[in-house]
Structure 1
């Protein structure tokens, strides 16, 4: 068996409205509703399914808790444009820009937290990377 790519992951939130605001307004993802009124944030060919704490869909993680994720996203725009957008959105950057290592090489990243305090890393690969 070989895994090709990640299709989706599940994020558990305590405040769905703040979570939706962050992932749509700040992160630029689109909100979609699918089977049985479930919601997800779509970006590229992936999505983040949304669970509300105490009202999770089955089956679920053994201990679904808000604030336990550490996610890294590669931005379409240059990181300097991402930083300008975050500032315009009044969303604080807690670290960066800093040099890191991504799945396929060196990246440049900034870190922030979503409303549930998950760590969000937004990155760019160097030109041609």
Structure 2
């Protein structure tokens, strides 16, 4: 029935700061859609940003997000890039369980304290 995620929404205190962080640290493409809403896109997915209280159907608080992103970089390259961007790594590299099997992950927070996990699958598990 379900084939993949289209987008997720993160609640943030400052949308421009969030867009800048995801563009700089995670190399995502900033986009504007709808009536001036902002997001970042990567592959065939996107992350929309909203201010607290902007979307009345969504009761998420700032920093409530917990997102795992798969990269085609090596975990060493990810760690080096995060350090170059002055991002504090909370945990990792560490082995975790992804949707398709074991992954190597590093964890850090975005500017709004959403937990971001960037992970690498074993070579035999990289294709969907």
* TM-score bracket for the superposition, by shorter chain length: over 0.9
2-structure distance, mates of 1:10, 1:3: 18
- List runs of 5+ in structure 1 lacking aligned partners: none
Residue 64 in structure 1 maps to residue 63 in structure 2: no
Runs ≥4 residues deviating over 4 A = none
Residue in structure 1 matched with residue 73 of structure 2 by the alignment: 77
Matches within 5 A, 1:46-57: 46-54=45-53, 56-57=54-55
2-structure distance, mates of 1:11, 1:25: 17
Residue in structure 2 matched with residue 35 of structure 1 by the alignment: 34
TM-score normalised by L of structure 1:
0.92
Structure with greater strand percent: 2
2-structure distance, mates of 1:105, 1:128: 10
Tell me the CA shift for residue 3 of structure 1.
1.1
TM-score normalised by L of structure 2:
0.92
The aligned length equals 125
User: Are the equivalent residues in 1 in contact too, given 2:10–2:48 (CA < 8 A)?
Assistant: yes
User: Could you say what the CA RMSD is over the residues aligned between the two structures, in angstroms?
Assistant: 1.2
